[in-house]
């Protein structure tokens, strides 16, 4: 008998000191602390790396001009390009899910991202070579894919590692690691760039360290299993009307399931709404910096470019810091309690209700102070309450289905929402000549549609959970378990 098996078979009689501390945030039971803490640290480091990169993305796109287009249009149209690129990426990704173990898939994708970061480090404007506008656009495309695809892959791994019951208790704890990692990354970015301790160009190389450690910790969590002393997984319960998922494409799985299609559309609307807000915030910030440069007498093209790039990075480092601090407070003290006492449905509907209030305020008073404050509230809720609900949602979904469909939903459909936001900018600027108030009023209408679809997802999820949830609800272990079937609300019912 292996040493690993000996450790797992010796279930602790009582909670460890670590687990008693973790119970301040959610219900952690004996033996669950070590794995949960590894997952916490892994997503902490992953989000820390992302928020070292994300402000650099905003600063690089700000100096990537395209003739006859405003900066907001360049940003919005580049976001649309992400959806097109991701369409090909998810088609290439699905066969890898069938071929590789889940932890090997996560590790290899992460290593590929690290190699790409080294290439972009070399291509940064006026570093080794002159500024090439195309590289800023390509970098924006890549960061958008990294931010949703790699993070979605991690959450699919977590949802496959835990059962429905255990995941509902522990995912809110792991999500605290995500929000605290985002706080750490944005705080480091603002501090390092503002103080001059580190040049802006070095952020990509710094981000390699937490990203590599994140993958190593995920492998450690996989090796340890869902809990020390966890019993062997019972055989999966048969489900009526299974639809084979092995070999099926992610999009085919999504469009054959009423629930998954509704989830995909909610994700699309959420990102359409959020990206509208991000584009408008970017427009307000760039207008402010233009006025600030004019008041300081900065007119030389090279000086104006350097001022715009550095001040955009500083603003977004500060903005993301306050977003993530607020999200961390919500994640630590609200998310798990809202799920426990309000239920999944209340948790899923919480974010669109906050967005409805925020965008209504921005439509009435579309000035920088109000837009920034409301976007902090909107994004903080999205990164904590909404993010937790979207990850809990996948717990009862069969293993291969979630490993394929979740990255597709969180990447392609998320970026399709960005694409529709780009279309909104195109029509609003070039055809209707909308002001800020008009854009925000349109976004309020989108939030109402999002709220209606979220209600449908709540009903479908309750039905699926009541039917038993499939293999993922009855099995746990260090590798993929259960047959490659999907019983996720196909057609008129599973």
Tens of pLDDT along 53-80?
877 776 676 666 666 666 666 666 776 6
Phi, psi of 125, rounded to the nearest 5 degrees: -60, 135
The residue with greater pLDDT, 297 or 23, is 297
Residue 202 Cα distances to 56, 167, 199, angstroms = 10, 37, 6
Beta bridge partners of 243: 486
Q: What is the CATH number of the domain that holds 311?
A: 1.20.1250.20
pLDDT attached to residue 227: 67
User: Which of 311, 264, 299 shows the shortest CA–CA distance to 409?
Assistant: 264
Domain housing 392: 11-231+241-486
Residue 195 Cα distances to 1, 189, 203, 306, 386, angstroms = 55, 10, 14, 16, 34
pLDDT attached to residue 217: 92
pLDDT attached to residue 5: 43
Instruction: Say yes or no to pLDDT of 37 above 60.
Output: yes
pLDDT attached to residue 482: 32
**pLDDT-derived band at 391, boundaries 50, 70, 90:** confident
Interval 335-356 mean pLDDT:
85
Per-residue pLDDT tens over the stretch 211-232: 999 999 998 888 888 766 554 4
Tally the domains of the chain: 1
236 domain-assigned: no
**pLDDT-derived band at 192, boundaries 50, 70, 90:** confident
Residue 27 Cα distances to 76, 123, 162, 173, 232, angstroms = 42, 47, 14, 9, 22
Instruction: Say yes or no to pLDDT of 98 above 50.
Output: yes
92 domain-assigned: yes
Burial, 393: exposed, middle or buried (Cβ in 10 Å; 0-12, 13-18, 19+)?
buried
Work out the number of other CB atoms within 10 angstroms of the CB of residue 480.
18
348 domain-assigned: yes
pLDDT attached to residue 142: 83
Which tokens hold the place of 102?
């889940």
122 domain-assigned: yes
Q: What does the alpha-carbon distance between residue 38 and residue 17 come to, in Å, rounded to a whole number?
A: 16
Beta bridge partners of 257: 490
The residue with greater pLDDT, 297 or 18, is 297
User: Which of 186, 187, 178, 184 shows the shortest CA–CA distance to 331?
Assistant: 178
pLDDT attached to residue 41: 92
Instruction: Say yes or no to pLDDT of 177 above 80.
Output: yes
6 domain-assigned: no
The residue with greater pLDDT, 79 or 348, is 348
Among 43-52, 191-200, 356-365, 410-419, the range with the most confident prediction by mean pLDDT is 43-52
In this prediction the pTM is 0.60
Which tokens hold the place of 448?
């109402």
Contact 40, 176 (CB under 8 A): yes
Q: At which residue do the structure tokens 């790699």 appear?
A: 150
Instruction: Say yes or no to pLDDT of 447 above 90.
Output: yes
2 domain-assigned: no
pLDDT attached to residue 23: 73
Which tokens hold the place of 164?
């429905």
Contact 338, 214 (CB under 8 A): no
Average pLDDT, the chain: 76
**pLDDT-derived band at 237, boundaries 50, 70, 90:** very low
Identify the weakest region by mean pLDDT among 115-119, 128-132, 147-151, 252-256: 128-132
Interval 431-449 mean pLDDT:
85
298 domain-assigned: yes
pLDDT attached to residue 472: 35
Which tokens hold the place of 303?
């000086």
170 domain-assigned: yes
Instruction: Say yes or no to pLDDT of 112 above 70.
Output: yes
Q: What does the alpha-carbon distance between residue 194 and residue 190 come to, in Å, rounded to a whole number?
A: 6
**pLDDT-derived band at 480, boundaries 50, 70, 90:** very low
The residue with greater pLDDT, 355 or 99, is 355
Q: What does the alpha-carbon distance between residue 167 and residue 163 come to, in Å, rounded to a whole number?
A: 6
Instruction: Say yes or no to pLDDT of 45 above 90.
Output: yes
Which tokens hold the place of 486?
């999907």
């Amino acid at each position: 008998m292996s040493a690993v098996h000996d450790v797992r078979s010796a279930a602790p009689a009582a909670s460890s000191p670590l687990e008693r501390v973790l119970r301040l945030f959610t219900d952690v039971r004996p033996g669950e602390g070590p794995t949960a803490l590894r997952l916490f640290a892994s997503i902490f480091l992953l989000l820390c790396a992302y928020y070292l990169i994300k402000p650099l993305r905003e600063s690089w796109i700000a100096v990537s001009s395209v003739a006859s287009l405003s900066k907001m249009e360049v940003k919005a149209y580049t976001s649309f390009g992400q959806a097109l690129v991701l369409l090909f990426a998810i088609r290439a990704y699905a066969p890898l899910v069938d071929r590789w173990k889940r932890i090997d898939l996560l590790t290899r994708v992460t290593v590929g991202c690290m190699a790409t970061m080294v290439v972009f480090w070399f291509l940064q404007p006026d570093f080794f070579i002159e500024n090439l506008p195309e590289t800023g656009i390509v970098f924006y495309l890549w960061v958008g894919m990294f931010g949703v695809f790699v993070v979605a892959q991690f959450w699919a791994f977590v949802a496959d590692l835990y059962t429905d019951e255990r995941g509902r208790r522990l995912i809110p704890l792991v999500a605290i690691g995500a929000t605290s990692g985002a706080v750490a990354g944005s705080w480091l970015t603002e501090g390092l760039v503002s103080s001059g301790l580190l040049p802006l160009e070095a952020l990509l190389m710094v981000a390699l360290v937490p990203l590599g450690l994140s993958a190593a910790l995920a492998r450690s969590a996989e090796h340890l299993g869902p809990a020390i002393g966890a019993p062997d997984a019972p055989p999966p319960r048969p489900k009526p009307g299974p639809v084979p998922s092995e070999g099926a494409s992610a999009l085919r799985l999504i469009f054959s399931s009423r629930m998954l299609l509704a989830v995909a559309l909610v994700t699309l609307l959420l990102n359409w709404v959020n990206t509208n807000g991000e584009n408008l915030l970017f427009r307000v910030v760039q207008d402010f910096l233009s006025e600030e440069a004019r008041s300081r007498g900065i007119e030389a093209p090279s000086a104006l470019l350097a001022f715009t790039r550095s001040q955009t990075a500083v603003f977004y480092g500060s903005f993301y810091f306050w977003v993530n601090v607020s999200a961390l407070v919500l994640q630590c003290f609200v998310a798990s309690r809202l799920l426990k006492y309000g239920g999944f449905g209340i948790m899923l509907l919480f974010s669109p209700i906050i967005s409805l209030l925020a965008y209504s305020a921005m439509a009435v008073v579309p000035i920088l102070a109000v837009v920034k404050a409301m976007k902090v509230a909107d994004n903080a809720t999205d990164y904590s309450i909404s993010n937790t609900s979207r990850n809990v949602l996948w717990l009862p979904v069969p293993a291969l289905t979630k490993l394929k469909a979740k990255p597709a939903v969180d990447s392609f459909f998320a970026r399709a929402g960005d694409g529709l936001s780009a279309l909104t900018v195109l029509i609003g600027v070039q055809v209707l000549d909308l002001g800020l108030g008009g854009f925000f009023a349109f976004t309020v209408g989108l939030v109402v549609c999002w709220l209606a679809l979220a209600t449908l997802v709540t009903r479908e999820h309750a039905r699926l959970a009541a039917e038993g949830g499939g293999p993922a609800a009855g099995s746990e272990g260090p590798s993929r378990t259960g047959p490659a079937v999907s019983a996720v609300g196909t057609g008129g019912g599973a």
